[in-house]
Amino acid sequence: MNGALFKNELQHELLAILDYWLQHAVDEQQGGFYGRIDNSNTKFPDAPKGSVLNARILWTFSAAYSLTGDPRCATAADRAFTYIREHFVDSLYGGVYWSVTSNGKSYDAKKQVYALAFVLYGCSEYYRATQNEHAKALAIQLYEVIQQKSYDHKEGGYFEAFDEHWELMKDLRLSEKDANEKKTMNTHLHILEAFTSLYNIFPDELLAKHIADLLHIFHDRIINQQTGHLHLFFDEHWNVKSDTVSYGHDIEASWLLLEAAETIGDKELIEQMRANALKMADAVIIGLDTDGGLWYEYEAAQNRLIKEKHWWPQAEAMVGFYNAWQISDQHEYLQYAYNVWAFIKQYIRDDKNGEWFWGVNEDHSVMQGQDKVGLWKCPYHNGRACIELIKRIGKDPPAGGWTSSG
């Protein structure tokens, strides 16, 4: 494997991912995109549609259009933005709904701040790609709502979830597997990601301060500086409420934090986040299996490794280890990125039905009961990894350029 071959394979993979979503996920009958498609590509037309999925579709096709110039990507991004604007935005109370019915009516009206962040993220990238002023206005509006409704003025950071009317909920969980706590690493990471994207189109001084504040929170509160892993759950006073290690989030955060510091141009934070990126990448190495893949989680209290390899940590590992190589020039990190890609090609990519499987078990059998398209299964992690790495590897594409597989 060399850089040119790696880039060429990633270009083909990106096109295959985009083609899958264009061919299978567009809901021509009810608008937008299907809420669920299983591993055999069976569509579920009555499945609810999630704001996170639609925001991630918006981000992916916007970023892909900026990279490739493929007009199909612009059309898909237009479709995603129009659907979000017409069906997910709560024009009465502000923010976005968690989900809508298959025909676009409010289904779960709770205000999960994680979802607001992703719609903000998607709208910011869509504006960068198309200069759609409505998207920029919505992105700024959501940023202001997050600051007004979710920011903790006493302890810093952001509260996790609210009901339709912006009252703090009793059940704050993003998913059933999460701890029911008022603050989470995951939501803070994706608020940071969204604010960073917004800063590219709205270089506001106060926004830069909020980004810097988030980076300080990660350094001081969320990253365990002894182990290099992330703490995942906290109460409102930042007391740690979990000892689970999420290898995928560790390696994802390692490059996103540095990207945020570089975007606002804070030299001190850039150096701090470069050091954190290497510390976190080093911490994740223990989660790599001999086949090149990255295990899912480690539960420290039970000394229990969750022996599953989900699709999204593999995608983030490619970028995170490549980033560590760029910072350090240590070849081992580059080799880890190549090894993960080899694992993806062998076990995670579905060469029969397209896209990537949700994940595989310890024996490499495909995890059952999971989907290709769903509230969480999206083109964002794998699509973004391809886009990010293509840009990092170099500006000159290999001979042959961009061609569509479908």
Q: What is residue 395's predicted lDDT score, i.e. its pLDDT?
A: 55
Question: What sign for the dihedral angle of Cα 253, 255, 256, 260?
Answer: positive
Tens of pLDDT, residue by residue over 94-144, are 999 999 999 999 999 999 999 999 999 999 999 999 999 999 999 999 999
Residue 338 CB contacts under 8 Å (≥ 6 apart), including other chains:
1, 6
Q: Over the stretch 238-270, which tens digit does the pLDDT of each residue have? A: 999 999 999 999 999 999 999 999 999 999 999
Does the structure show a pLDDT above 90 at 199? yes
* 101, two tokens: 């019915």
Specify the pLDDT at position 86: 98
The helix/strand/coil state of 118 is helix
| pLDDT bucket at 405, cuts 50 / 70 / 90 | very low
Which of 23, 141, 48 has its CA nearest to residue 100? 48
Q: Tell me, what's the pLDDT at 173?
A: 84
Q: Which of 102, 57, 55 is nearest to 75 (CA)?
A: 57
- From the candidate CATH numbers 1.50.10.10, 3.40.50.300, 3.10.180.10, 1.10.10.410, the one assigned to the domain spanning 3-393: 1.50.10.10
**Per-residue model confidence as pLDDT tens digits over 320-365:** 999 999 999 999 999 999 999 999 999 999 999 999 999 999 999 9
Q: Which residues pair with 111 in a beta bridge?
A: 162
Tell me the mean pLDDT in the region 73-84: 98
Residues sharing a CB contact under 8 Å with residue 186, sequence separation 6 or more, in sequence order? 114, 174, 178, 232, 249
The residue behind tokens 């189109």 is 201
Domain boundaries, the chain: 3-393
Q: Answer yes or no: is pLDDT of 399 > 70.
A: no
Beta bridge partners of 233: 184
Strands (E), 8-54: 37-38, 49-50
pLDDT of residue 1: 81
* Alpha carbon distance, N-terminus to C-terminus of the chain: 26
Interatomic CA distance for residues 390 and 6, integer angstroms: 9
| pTM score, whole prediction | 0.95
